[in-house]
Structures are given as C-alpha cells and as structure tokens.
Chains A and B, each alone.
Chain A
Amino acid sequence: MTLDYGHAEGFAAASREHLEPIAAQARILVVEDDDNIAALLGRELRGLGHTVDTVRYAEDALFAARANDYTLMIVDLGLPDGDGLDLVREMRRRTVEAPILMLTARRRVEDRVMGLTSGADDYLVKPFAVPEMRARVTALLRRPSRLRGHRIAIANMVVDADALEAIVDGVSLALPRKQFQLLELLARRKNHMTPKRMVEEALYGFDDDVTANSIEAQISKLRRALKAAGAGVALETRRGIGYRLVGAGGAPN
C-alpha cells in the first residue's frame, strides 16, 4: 500500500510564509509519546500563536485537563500507560468539553469509527501532512459550539478576540501577542480580580521559561500601551493577589 500523505505544495506550505489566519489563540494540550511528533506539533501550533502543553502519559493528560481549561486537545491513541480511546472516554466522563483531535497510526476504518464514537471530534491518521493537521485544528477551533464571546467592550475600548485586535476610540491598538492574550483574559474578567497564577497559565505553557517578573513585565508594558492609546481603563495590581481591569475611575462597565 502506498499512502499519499503530502503533496509538494503540502511540504512547501510548512513554511511560516504560508500560514493561514486563524480565529483565535487557543491553549492546546498535546498527548503524544513520540518525541519527534510532539515537538513538531508544538512547533507548528505555537507558530500559529497558540499556547501548547505536551504530555506523554494518559495519567498526566488527565491531571493537566483538570488543572487547565484547554480549548483543544490532540490525543495519540497509543500511549505508554494506556489506550488513548480510554483516555478520551474518561475525559468525556469527567465532562471535559474541549474538542479532541485523535492522532493515530491505526488506519483501519473500524479504528477511525471507534475513535469518533469514543468521544473524539476528529481523527487524523499518521503519517499526516502538516498543512492538513493545521487545517483540522483550525476547523475544530472554528466550530460554533466552541466559540466564546468575541468582542468585549470596556469603557472606550473593544477587545476583538477574532481579529486579535484591541480598538480604542475606533483606532486599532497594535499589541504583541502576549500582551493581547493578557488583555483578552483581563477583559473577559473585567471588574473581577484575576489571580496571577491564572494569568501565568493563560500566557505560558509548561515548557516556557517563566521568571518571577515575567507577568509583572507584561502587565507593565500593557498598562503603558493602554495609557498611551488613551484607553479609559485602569489595570490595577493587588500585590500577592492578582490583577483587575476596570473602566476608568473603577466604575463597572
């Protein structure tokens, strides 16, 4: 049997120059024991602007899913400590709602059907073409049931999660990716205190090198950018607790 798993343009499209725009940045859990495949997935998905956590074992995946609110999971079926099918069933039993893309070298139709009936949302057979993987991830993230509120208004500012853009008085505010992720998180929780740990989990993956001052530095830069743009908001810091975004003067918006 000869599988056609990549066209010439498919390989070429692995280039960053050919990346397609996506709806929103997501936090993705990759459960894969093949180090090369895991690294490839992490690299490609981070290249799309997502935060990616990678684990090798089903047990670690359950722990990670309990500790984090993932937008999407990619689960390999052949894991060292169990079957990925059982992992997906257990995730669903625990009411994990994130879409799951199954990844497997099992190529038979009955395997694919079993994967989908166990609770997975889509199925990608190894070997896979990177552009197809990206397209499937993008499609899963685009599903209406997974969409969250996209435009969050606060004072004279709108945070548009689809366009990855903050708009102040109708003028687009160009923010680096991390600062936009931070702003989106705080805007979604506007008027509420957001614990520092939650900020850290939203902005950084397991493997990211986060220093004690990383979050403070991002907060400081975001505060300066909002002030410079004339945003009528205040980004408050409560030492030892976290951060809060409020309309200017502290009045709820």
Chain B
Amino acid sequence: MRTPRPTGQDLKLLDPDGSFRARLDADRQAIAQLSDSGRLEDLARIVHGLAGAAGTFGYAEVGNIAIELDDRFVAGEPVRAADVARLLAALEQALGLPGKSA
C-alpha cells in the first residue's frame, strides 16, 4: 500500500511548534557537510535518527530513504554518494527547497 502524503494540517498536529521541521533542516545541513568530509559514523547516527523519526512526523519519503540507508549502515554495506544525494533531495523537497542537490 502506498503511504499517503499527510496534509499540512496533519503535519501541524504532529509538530505544532515546528521543532521537527527545524531539526530536518539542521540534519540536512549536517548530512551535506558529513558526506563531503566522509565522517560516516556521524552520518550514520543522523540517518538512524531520521529513519526512526521522519515517518512518525509525516515525512514519509525522507523516512523511507533514511530507513534504506540505515539498513545498509547496520549491515555494513556501502552507502554511495548517490544514495546520500537522494536523501538530501528528499529533505529539500520536504522543506520546500527543491533542486539544491539535484
């Protein structure tokens, strides 16, 4: 079953003070920096947090990509730059900043 896209009202109910949205933006910037620097351990920690939380707050696409990457980190499989770019693109889309990492 396809995960439905939550409405703006749904997101407001789940994140009334916007703190999760602010975190998404902070995570987006951190992921961009870490992927450049190659600090995979820190990157894995942020991705793990997003894998657990993003879907809960209604950011389905971000959550699904983060889960995919988190599974690879846990399994010790390589995470490619293109995968991180997909996550960044989903974050930008969620934050209304399309096209930055495209």
B37 within 8 A of A: no
A206 within 8 A of B: no
Q: When the two chains form their complex, are residues A40 and B14 in contact, meaning their CB atoms are under 8 A apart? A: yes
| Dominant secondary structure at the B interface | helix
Stretch among A6-14, A23-31, A81-89, A208-216 lining the B interface: A6-14
Stretch among A123-131, A176-184, A187-195, A229-237 lining the B interface: A123-131
Q: When the two chains form their complex, are residues A14 and B10 in contact, meaning their CB atoms are under 8 A apart? A: yes
Q: When the two chains form their complex, are residues B13 and A127 in contact, meaning their CB atoms are under 8 A apart? A: no
Point out the residues of chain A lying under 8 angstroms from B58, CB to CB.
6, 11
Chain A, residue nearest B19 (CB): A36
Point out the residues of chain B lying under 8 angstroms from A163, CB to CB.
none
Given A1-B71, A12-B10, A14-B10, do A127 and B53 touch, yes or no (CB 8 Å)?
Answer: yes
What 0/1 readout, one digit per residue, does chain B (78-90) give for beta carbons within 8 Å of chain A?
0000000000000
Point out the residues of chain B lying under 8 angstroms from A8, CB to CB.
4, 6
Chain A, residue nearest B24 (CB): A36
Q: When the two chains form their complex, are residues B3 and A127 in contact, meaning their CB atoms are under 8 A apart? A: no
Chain A, interface residues (CB within 8 Å), range: 20 to 34
Q: When the two chains form their complex, are residues A37 and B3 in contact, meaning their CB atoms are under 8 A apart? A: no
What 0/1 readout, one digit per residue, does chain B (11-23) give for beta carbons within 8 Å of chain A?
0011110011001
B67 within 8 A of A: yes
Q: When the two chains form their complex, are residues B52 and A105 in contact, meaning their CB atoms are under 8 A apart? A: yes
B64 within 8 A of A: yes
CB proximity of B60 to chain A, nearest CB, Å: 8
A39 within 8 A of B: yes
What 0/1 readout, one digit per residue, does chain B (37-61) give for beta carbons within 8 Å of chain A?
0000000000011011111111010
Point out the residues of chain A lying under 8 angstroms from B60, CB to CB.
5-6
The residue in B10, B52, B53, B68 that gathers the most chain A C-beta atoms within 10 A of its C-beta is B52
Point out the residues of chain B lying under 8 angstroms from A129, CB to CB.
56
Chain A, residue nearest B23 (CB): A36
CA distance A4 to B71 in the complex (A): 17
Given A14-B14, A36-B20, A36-B23, do A128 and B7 touch, yes or no (CB 8 Å)?
Answer: no
Q: When the two chains form their complex, are residues B55 and A5 in contact, meaning their CB atoms are under 8 A apart? A: yes
Other than A11-B4, A11-B13, A36-B23, give 4 A-B pairs with Cβ distance below 8 A. Answer: A34-B49, A40-B14, A105-B70, A129-B56
Offer 24 A-B interface pairs, CB within 8 angstroms, sorted by A: A1-B68, A2-B64, A3-B3, A3-B64, A3-B67, A5-B3, A5-B60, A6-B60, A7-B1, A11-B13, A14-B10, A34-B53, A35-B19, A36-B57, A37-B56, A78-B48, A105-B52, A107-B71, A126-B51, A126-B52, A126-B55, A127-B52, A127-B53, A128-B56
Residue numbers of B with Cβ under 8 A of A are: 1-4, 6-7, 10, 13-16, 19-20, 23, 48-49, 51-58, 60, 63-64, 67-68, 70-71
